Chain A
Amino acid sequence: MGRVAFHGVTKRFGDAVAVDDLTLEVEDQEFLVLLGPSGCGKTTALRMLAGLDEPTSGTIEIGSRIVNGVEPKLRDVAMVFQSYALYPHMSVRKNIEFPLKSRRVPSSERRALVDEAARAVGLEDLMERKPGQLSGGQRQRVALARAIVRRPQVFLMDEPLSNLDAKLRVQTRAELIELQRRLATTVVYVTHDQVEAMTMGDRIAIMNAGRLQQIAPPQEVYARPANLFVARFIGNPPMNTVTGRVVDDGFELPGGVVPGASGTLDAMKARGIAEVVIGVRPEHLRVDADGIVPATVTVIESLGHERHVICRLVDGQMIIVRQASDVVPPAEGQTVRLTTDPANLHLFDAQTGERLDLGLVGADGPAAELAGS
């Protein structure tokens, strides 16, 4: 019912390509997050879904219907704008009522629907205020209520939390998810905040420069990034990535050789891959006297519950190690050796940046994981 699909959708503004050949499906009642850096085309994708912009090419489906060329009001979608776009001259009640009025819903029914929507977001006591007399969080609720009052098939939200302070954002995040479950509707949610994406999304679609990079559940995006862009974009602090040369017994990094299984290495050589980017998340690195790669500790950042040990490899590349605060910290300036469980290594093609799923060190490597799942 509330299924949404993009098929090869491209949007150009003059010469600039805002969305490039986007194909993705959102299932009914799914909470899909569109995540990506500023200017990557998230808003444009959402606006095409709403009917506010028409795609240059490709088709868009809502429900089981192709909606290209269909007017926004006939698409049965509601949108929450980043700016909220409330009508400043109308009271909260009038704002929420506005979409019903255009649809000529009888006034008694209208009243009931408006009250219900207001109750769903906790606005009952503010109904006669004007938007100018509300706090940011309250305005955001009005925008939500105005969207849910129509009971649309699909909700579109464009960074609806970005104008709230950090504390309110955490609270509203949870409320939004609750609301979505309760209303059992599909949500397409745009954000550039990866924490929002990880916590809210059933799946995350990551975009960069108009192109879809990966679409997967949050855990998978984190555990198995499809390419270097996703690997570096998701995670805080970001994944460490170092380029290594493929040698006979593994991958040569500055200061040491990370062992690789002969099968993997052979496969790489067969494909003519001479260089790979090795990625490892800061929390998967350990300081260990028997470690493989030497590094000098430059700065230690303590966050209370954890600590970031910032090191430099022999050639100056930065590596971040995330430690629990109960681990004994190294001293600044000390040279340590770093190691990790081979299962935690990610390999990427140095040329294309694509993930290489060849298995790194025998049966424990990521390839085995994939085969088992």
Chain B
Amino acid sequence: MAIESAVPFSATVDVAEPVTTTVAEPPNRGLAKKILWYALLTFIALVIFFPIYISVVNSLLKPDQIARRPPSFFPSHPQWSSYSKAWSQGHLGKFLLNSAIVTGIIVAFEVGLSIVAAYAFAFLEFPFKRTLFTVFLATLMIPFEVTIATNLDTIVKLNAYNTYVGLAMPFLATGFGAFLLRQAFLQLPKDLKDAAALDGYGHLRFLTRVVIPLARPGIAALTVFAFLSAWNQYLWPLLVTKDQRLRTVQIGLGFLRAQQIDQVNVTFAGTVIAVIPLFLLLVVFQKQLVRGLTAGAVKG
């Protein structure tokens, strides 16, 4: 073994034999492999799930219990009152509504505009199509933080500072969405467009009756991504609003933490509340999302 790794060429020669080893592979080995995979996946799931679990546990503990070492992993006397406190003192109702409005606007526009842009790039011929698409792609390379000052300036000049419009505007159209859906649309057989043209369907009806139903997994994936990123925004809403009434839930949580500095459990409860919509979204879209993420990997 040691010799082999010291001589890289002999090692590569050895690799050329997996065919025989797989054929002769005893059934136990397949099982062992499976067990190993599941163990690994379980471990990763636990790592991801742990902070969420701790947040829920902490939201149900008393503040002094949270600080205690060793920490407790199970609330023996759950304190549900932290939730009502978070809701009322943190004005979470209002903030959630704001988040919902802004997120709704962003998702509707981002998905809608991505669909039509992707349609153009996938199905239409027009001058400078490639160049334009490259420009779209190039915008993906620019981090939002770079454009933030200019955007703020624009929003102020448009008199949209401290409004829902200002909160949503920079995210209404994204190169990412157009790119993602174009890929999904290009997977569709090209003959479908021609068949629909002969069957008497123009662009709009072809889009709504054939393309959108067939690209649903991709569109669902984009919807979820758009929702997640809009809902989780922090910096931009903070910059573009001055008014308490317009703050979104993430900002609200920040205030809640500052306010309830001695009651960490309330902050945790607020966090859990803010996550619930995302959780519901994932439950609703889970099937579509998984298909969207793997779409193109397995054809047909």
The 10 listed contacts between A and B (C-beta, < 8 Å) are A50-B194, A50-B198, A52-B194, A72-B198, A73-B197, A85-B191, A85-B192, A85-B194, A87-B210, A89-B210
Contact A72 B197 (CB under 8 A): yes
- Are A81 and B197 in touch, CB under 8 angstroms? no
B214 within 8 A of A: yes
Q: A77–B198 contact, CB under 8 A?
A: yes
A89 touches B213 (CB 8 A): yes
| A96-104, A114-122, A248-256 - interface stretch | A96-104
How far apart are B154's CB and chain A's nearest CB, in angstroms?
Answer: 41
Among B189, B191, B195, B210, the most chain A Cβ lie within 10 Å of the Cβ of B195
Is A206 an interface residue when CB atoms closer than 8 A count as contact? no
Q: Does B87 contact A (CB under 8 A)?
A: no
Chain B residue at minimum C-beta to C-beta distance from A99? B199
Chain B residues whose CB sits within 8 angstroms of the CB of A77 once the complex forms: 198
Q: Which residue of A lies closest to B216 (CB)?
A: A89
| Chain A residues in the interface with B (C-beta under 8 A) | 47, 50-52, 71-73, 77-79, 81-85, 87-89, 98-99, 102-103, 146
Question: Closest residue to B192 on the A side, CB-wise?
Answer: A85
Q: How far is the CA of A146 from the CA of B196 in the complex (A)?
A: 11
Given that A81-B191, A85-B192 are known contacts, is A73 also in contact with B198, CB under 8 Å in the complex? yes
Pair A99/B200 contact, Cβ less than 8 Å: yes
B197 and A98 within 8 A (CB): no
> Which residues of B does A touch, CB under 8 Å?
189, 191-192, 194-195, 197-201, 205, 210, 213-214
- Taking the nearest CB of chain B, how far is it from the CB of A146, in angstroms? 8
Contacting residue for A87 out of B192, B198, B205, CB 8 A: B192
Greatest chain A CB density within 10 A among B189, B199, B205, B214 is at B199
- Nearest residue, chain A, Cβ from B214: A89
Check A78–B192 contact: CB distance below 8 A. no
CA–CA, A5 to B209, complex, Å?
Answer: 34
- Contact B200–A85 (Cβ < 8 Å): no
Known contacts A89-B213, A102-B205: A81-B200 contact under CB 8 Å? no
Complex Cα spacing A52 to B196, Å: 11
Cβ-defined contact, A102 with B200, below 8 A: yes
Partner of A79, one of B198, B200, B205, B214: B198
Contact indicator A102/B201 (Cβ below 8 Å): yes
Contacts of B214 in A (CB 8 A): 87-89
Complex partner residue of A73 from B189, B192, B200, B213, CB under 8 angstroms: B200
Say whether, besides A52-B197, A73-B198, A83 and B213 are in contact (CB < 8 Å).
no
On chain B, the residues within 8 Å of A85 by CB distance are 189, 191-192, 194-195
Which residue from chain B places its CB closest to the CB of A89 in the assembled complex?
B213
